[in-house]
Amino acid sequence: MIEVESLKKSFDDVVAVSDVSFAAQNGRVTGLLGPNGAGKSTTLRILYGLLQPDAGSAHIDGIDVHKNPQQAQHHLGVLPDNHGLYGRLTAREHIHYFGRLQGVAADDLETRTNQLIERLDMKSIADRRAEGFSQGERMKVCLARALVHNPPNLILDEPTNGLDVMTTRTVRDLIAELRGENVTVLFSSHMMYEVSKLCDHIVIISEGIVVANGTTDEIRAAAGEENLEDAFVKLVEKVIA
């Protein structure tokens, strides 16, 4: 369960997020939709404790992120905007490293790692160094290391950006599976198709404020458009104008 209330954040004079509130429920997939520069990444970074909000609050499973950031981070798996790998470590070593940092016990770590390697279809790359990995392979490692501690909440910042069809499908399947395991999934995207297909709940932000919040049907109804994309454009333009 992820709750965000009246978040506000500016960098110097630029307001990145001016008023964002929403909630992502357990066992549901919530999509954070918005054009580039709408404040998606900033909102997510506040959620995983990397940025301090100027005002407002964020809670992960009821834990205030800014009062207890480390406790909140235990409840979170994150695929951040910057997701670099260590070129000289293997996929398995990446998963181990992050598992240890999350405090996963040694016995569980081995089992968890093998499960994730199986689940994300990474057997062939598990013991290869990351330097030669393709975009899709890199993404799998990032997902595995985000999930190694079995987090009840998962935040993904543009998870399918720049991926090929096969890996995109893997990511989508994974998101669907995790929903079945009662995980709270929150992901950002600017791709309408993906959001409409995957999400139970959509939050549209533009210019740092929430312009629509609800199910696909609710958003279409609010904009008075049949097509979700048209609804999105209409809602976003209303703010910019």
Q: Are the CB atoms for 43 and 49 separated by under 8 Å?
A: no
- Rounded to a whole number of angstroms, the minimum distance from the CB of residue 134 to another protein is 16
Residue carrying the six token digits 């890199």: 138
Task: Tell me: does residue 162 bind another protein (CB under 8 A).
Answer: no
**Which listed residue (98, 140, 179, 236) binds another protein by CB under 8 A?**
98
Task: Tell me: does residue 15 bind another protein (CB under 8 A).
Answer: no
Task: Tell me: does residue 80 bind another protein (CB under 8 A).
Answer: yes
**Which listed residue (10, 37, 67, 101) binds another protein by CB under 8 A?**
101
> Which listed range, 101-109, 120-128, 173-181, 201-209, lies at the site for another protein (CB under 8 A)?
101-109
Residue 152 DSSP one-character state: S
Sequence-ordered strand ranges (E) for the chain: 2-11, 14-24, 29-33, 55-60, 63-64, 76-79, 153-157, 184-189, 201-206, 209-214
Task: Tell me: does residue 35 bind another protein (CB under 8 A).
Answer: no
What's the angle, vertex CA 118, arms to CA 142 and CA 157, rounded to 5?
25
Residues touching another protein: how many (CB under 8 A)? 35
* Separation CA 73–CA 19 (nearest Å): 23
Residues that bind another protein (CB under 8 A): 11, 45, 48-52, 69-71, 73-74, 76, 78, 80-89, 93, 97-98, 100-103, 106, 129, 142, 145
